[in-house]
Amino acid sequence: MKNEHTNRLQFWPRQPVKVRHGRLWLAVAICAGMTFAAGNVVAQLAPNQTNGFGNHGLVTFTYLQNFDCLDEPTMDLDFNAIRAQSDPNEMQTPICQVVTEPSQDPTGRSLEHTAHIYALVPMFGTDTNPNDAMECPDGGRPGELCGVELGKALITLFGHVPEAWRTTPSVQTQCPDANNPVPGTCTMHASSVDLSVLLAGMPGIPNPPIAPLFVPTPNHSHVVDNNRVNTKPIWWEVRPVLIMQQADWPVPDGSRGITSVKAMDAAEEAGRAIEVGSNFFLFFSSVVGSASSAAGMQGMHH
């Protein structure tokens, strides 16, 4: 979401804020993949690449470092009433928390100057079979919701298993990546996310949170701002955007659906999408076009 729209909804934070959990889950509740397969485009992606969308077309991302889920000294991402600066255990596993935002990015620069990658998450669906929910990669973390238990929880919360967490979704997504199509994963991404803040106050979910609520990383696609489609390797803040209607979902070649920030803004304005922040960051370059054109443009940055 562009800066001129930051005041439109209270749960689109650009700087650390106290989230009004009740309103957030209510908005999610009210509004509430298959591996990306675009023929030759997919075949040409390197193992450290995914596609994305921007300015109504395809872009190619090349990831050059692992993700970072940023914790700051005064944060308490595991909700044990001990600040991170005095809680060594909080440092032992990344907590990638949706909604929560730090004050700076991994470079130490103020978050208000950090580029955004919008992770489109397909929350729509009609599947009421809990067996269709994805398992956790490599068994997941202790207490992480996986497989049937994940499916049951999602059905309780949303009335269905969203396409975001189906093992074989009915829509095509850019993550999992084409070279390693394991549900719950994507190249150089975390393999689990914490939804405790996002879902706080929904049935069975404590408000305020008392512990992380880990689930596998959802199936998702990506959008970047028009002025970022050709960008050298930098850190990007991941801003999840919950897509509520299948008609808005982008098709692999970018010919329709949300393939630009303008289209994303319109869906948010109409109540068909919800954008939130996060404390997770990805490091990659972006170039216009499919992987074949990207290979010849890696030196053309701005």
Domain assignment present for residue 227? The answer is no
Query: Taking the CA atoms of the chain, what radius of gyration do you get in angstroms?
Result: 18
Tell me the per-residue pLDDT of 108-126, one tens digit each, with 9 for 90 and over.
999 999 999 999 999 999 9
The predicted model scores a pTM of 0.86
Domain assignment present for residue 25? The answer is yes
pLDDT at residue 194 greater than cutoff 60? yes
Number of domain units in the chain: 1
Mean pLDDT for 222-232 is 98
Domain assignment present for residue 16? The answer is no
pLDDT at residue 157 greater than cutoff 50? yes
Give the whole-number percent of the chain exceeding pLDDT 70: 82
Cα angle 241-94-180, degrees, rounded to a multiple of 5:
65
State the pLDDT confidence band at 17, using cuts at 50, 70 and 90: very low
Residue pair 214/93 in contact by the 8 Å Cβ criterion? no
Return the pLDDT at 143: 94
Mean pLDDT for 31-46 is 50
The residue range of the domain holding 131 is 21-222+239-295
Residue pair 102/16 in contact by the 8 Å Cβ criterion? yes
Domain assignment present for residue 178? The answer is yes
Domain assignment present for residue 56? The answer is yes
Quote the mean pLDDT of the chain. 87
Tell me the per-residue pLDDT of 240-288, one tens digit each, with 9 for 90 and over.
999 999 999 999 999 999 999 999 999 999 999 999 999 999 999 999 9
State the pLDDT confidence band at 37, using cuts at 50, 70 and 90: very low
Return the pLDDT at 25: 62
Return the pLDDT at 31: 57
Return the pLDDT at 44: 86
Domain assignment present for residue 10? The answer is no
Residues present in the chain in total: 302
* pLDDT, greater one: 181 or 27: 181
Give the whole-number percent of the chain exceeding pLDDT 90: 81
Domain assignment present for residue 11? The answer is no
Domain assignment present for residue 133? The answer is yes
State the pLDDT confidence band at 302, using cuts at 50, 70 and 90: very low
